[in-house]
Amino acid sequence: MIGFGSIGRGTLPLIERHIGFDREAFTVIEPSSEFAHILRDHGIRHLPLALTPENYEATLRGLFPAGKGMVVNLSVDVDSILLMELCATLGVQYIDTVVEPWPGFYFGSTLPNAERTNYPLREKVRDLGRAHVGGPTAVSCCGANPGMVSWLLKEALLKLAEDTDVAAAPASREDWAQLAMTLGVKGVHVAERDTQVSAKAKPQGVFVNTWSVDGLLSEGYQPAELGWGTHEKKLPPHGHAFTHGAGYAIWIDRPGADTRVRSWCPGVGPQFGYVVTHNESLSIPDYYTVRDGERAIYRPTCHYAYHPCNDAVLSLHEINGAGQLPESKHILTADEIVSGGDDLGVFLYGHAKGAMWYGSRLTIDEARNLAPYQNATGMQVTSAVLAAMVWVAENPHAGWVEADEMDHERCLQVQRPYLGRIECHYTDWTPVQHRINSFAEDRDDEDPWQFTNFLAV
């Protein structure tokens, strides 16, 4: 395991509970000693070292002399693509929750904004992956989102088909895309509401979140990015198409952590979410594209609509106002959180029943009772990592894949005990409803499901 942060710590007890492994051979590479006592208590070897471009190859070669095993990368600041290539060479399996580059990409980069998006990173993974068909399995981008939400989307599509009397037995990527088109799904939000709160008020100047602050800052200050549906009539302000690749996405020349959309989650109903860029905003539209020859005739719009915990919203407000990254960071632990939970699902809109939210609703109390060292947000991620590990062990020669290409039934079967309640909610809400007084806006009343209607400027 690389990285023993909030996700690494939460994943360890799930591995111990569900996976048979050789304790002598299990190594955690983690530069910080802050949580080394947990590794000592569990009898797991700690390699206190930061992977760098200079040492990563020798370090991993040293750990896998027999070319057998699995790398689970739960770090920040380590180049995922180089690790995937090395693991393929070593003959070991690999799992990651994001496509992460070495430091220097997210901040202080001289790259133009179009190149600081996830699109070129994903395109590179997909291109390189074509050379690894049938090779050691490497799962790219499999946590809760990206990851689990792709499995939930498949369940949601089957449920929508059942509820609208559409026959469905999809068996291939093409079948799934065809099903989404037949159902008339115009778009998918990965709609999340994190309601976890601490008893202690957030101190001014401290960035507080329920998972990696570094991770949120990195992706939050990349440009906003989204899968671009075939029903969309016009680009949003500062929106740009990509000039290379299959063109399933667009980017907006604004930070995702300062780009809000109207969205919907159970419990709260209509809410703002941030269009923080994520791999699922790219993999889902790509996976669900229906083509007639070269021409895309159907593709859903897809993006993250993230309402982080209240302390993180306030933290973003503070740093956006200051125009400076925070000096102090804090991840809320399960012990500090007094109430709330995480609702994370897919919000499918534009179909015969209007809109539907389908996802996991997990409270902090449930998370605390399920496994140690994690809050509700972490549990949705760590259990997805566990599901990916099981699937990889059962499918060791699947080459380079994303969550959309894995067996969603098997993965959710492993993960479901850790997800609280999986709920389905239909709503007649649309983004053109509800305004406090009326003001000038770019509004399309003919089609409420246009992205410009969701975008709050």
Nearest to ligand NAD of 265, 331 (CB atom): 331
Among 71, 83, 84, 97, binds ligand NAD (CB under 6 A): 97
> In the complex, what is the shortest distance from the CB of residue 289 to ligand NAD, in angstroms, rounded to a whole number?
22
State yes or no: residue 30 binds ligand NAD (CB under 6 A): yes
Contact map string, positions 326 to 355, toward ligand NAD, x by CB under 6 A = -----x------------------------
Please report, as residue ranges, which positions from 155 to 194 form the binding site for ligand NAD (by CB under 6 A).
Answer: none
Residue whose beta carbon is closest to ligand NAD: 5
> In the complex, what is the shortest distance from the CB of residue 426 to ligand NAD, in angstroms, rounded to a whole number?
26
State yes or no: residue 71 binds ligand NAD (CB under 6 A): no
State yes or no: residue 214 binds ligand NAD (CB under 6 A): yes
Using CB under 6 A as the binding criterion, the count of chain residues that bind ligand NAD stands at: 32
Contacts of 87 (CB under 8 A, 6+ apart): 60, 71, 93, 94, 136, 138
For the chain, helix, strand, coil in percent to 5 are: 35, 25, 40
The DSSP element (H or E) to which 37 belongs, if any, is helix 36-42
State yes or no: residue 153 binds ligand NAD (CB under 6 A): no
Task: Name the phi and psi angles at 339, rounded to 5.
Answer: -160, 175
Task: Name the phi and psi angles at 429, rounded to 5.
Answer: -65, 140
Runs of H (alpha helix) within 80-195: 80-90, 119-129, 148-163, 173-183
**Using CB under 6 A, which of the segments 75-83, 196-204, 314-322, 422-430 binds ligand NAD?**
75-83
Contacts of 284 (CB under 8 A, 6+ apart): 150, 153, 188, 227, 300, 302, 404
Please report, as residue ranges, which positions from 379 to 418 form the binding site for ligand NAD (by CB under 6 A).
Answer: 381
457: helix, coil or strand? coil
User: How far is 358 from 425, CA to CA, in rounded Å?
Assistant: 6
| Structure tokens that stand for 378 in this block | 């972490």
State yes or no: residue 74 binds ligand NAD (CB under 6 A): yes
User: How far is 423 from 420, CA to CA, in rounded Å?
Assistant: 9
Among 75, 118, 198, 281, binds ligand NAD (CB under 6 A): 75
User: How far is 384 from 415, CA to CA, in rounded Å?
Assistant: 6
DSSP conformation class of 143: B
State yes or no: residue 374 binds ligand NAD (CB under 6 A): no
Nearest to ligand NAD of 3, 300 (CB atom): 3
**CA-based angle 418:423:428, to the nearest 5?**
150
Please report, as residue ranges, which positions from 34 to 53 form the binding site for ligand NAD (by CB under 6 A).
Answer: 50-51
> In the complex, what is the shortest distance from the CB of residue 374 to ligand NAD, in angstroms, rounded to a whole number?
10
Which residues sit at the interface with ligand NAD, rule CB under 6 A? 2-8, 29-32, 50-51, 74-78, 97-98, 100, 143-147, 211-212, 214-215, 331, 381
